[in-house]
Amino acid sequence: MKNAVSLMAVLFVSAFVAPAAQAAGNIECSLRYDLSGWSVFYKTASGTGTITCDNGMRMPVTLKVKGGGLTVGKSKIVDGTGRFSGAYSPDDLFGTYAAVSAHAGAVRSSGAVAMTKGDISLALAGTGKGWDLGIDGTAFTIERR
């Protein structure tokens, strides 16, 4: 009986604690990254970066881009930035985001793209070197390094 009362007390308290963590709100996180790749109908790129959150967490990450469409080019982005929204935990940030983009640039170009993964959004901006032209669908994957 004493164990049953203890179990009920734990369940009662946890019913209020779990929603409180969610109710605490979204965390604010940003991404700094370097990325390089190429495309000829098929688009591929890879790079590295660091996610920094307002709760003090810093996480090194690996980035992979795969996609395709009517696209051709070669580019390199150095010191790009990104801002996440909709995350409750740093673990929410990892995975594959989807985006559709149109792009054109020569020598020095800049661009911005917004992408989603369920309720999580990521807005990227960067300036790079290279050239590109096209319209494509892209899968942008973030993994722990």
94, 73 contact by CB (below 8 A): no
Instruction: At 74, list the tokens.
Output: 């070669």
Instruction: Look at residue 24 in the predicted model and tell me its pLDDT.
Output: 53
Dihedral, CA of residue 140, residue 102, residue 87 and residue 36, to nearest 10: 40
pTM: 0.77
Q: Tens-digit pLDDT profile for the chain (145 aa)? A: 443 333 333 333 334 333 434 445 689 999 999 999 988 888 899 999 999 999 999 999 999 999 988 888 888 999 999 999 999 999 999 999 999 877 666 766 667 789 999 999 999 988 878 877 878 889 999 999 9
C-alpha span between 139 and 68 (Å, rounded): 9
120, 85 contact by CB (below 8 A): yes
pLDDT digits (tens, 9 = 90+) for 92-117: 999 999 998 776 667 666 677 899 99
Q: Which residue in 62, 64, 68, 80 sits closest to 39, CA to CA?
A: 68
- Alpha-carbon separation of residue 108 from 77, 78, 126, 131, 132 (angstroms): 10, 11, 11, 8, 10
Instruction: Look at residue 70 in the predicted model and tell me its pLDDT.
Output: 82
Dihedral, CA of residue 84, residue 86, residue 89 and residue 95, to nearest 10: -60
C-alpha span between 50 and 77 (Å, rounded): 14
C-alpha span between 56 and 68 (Å, rounded): 36
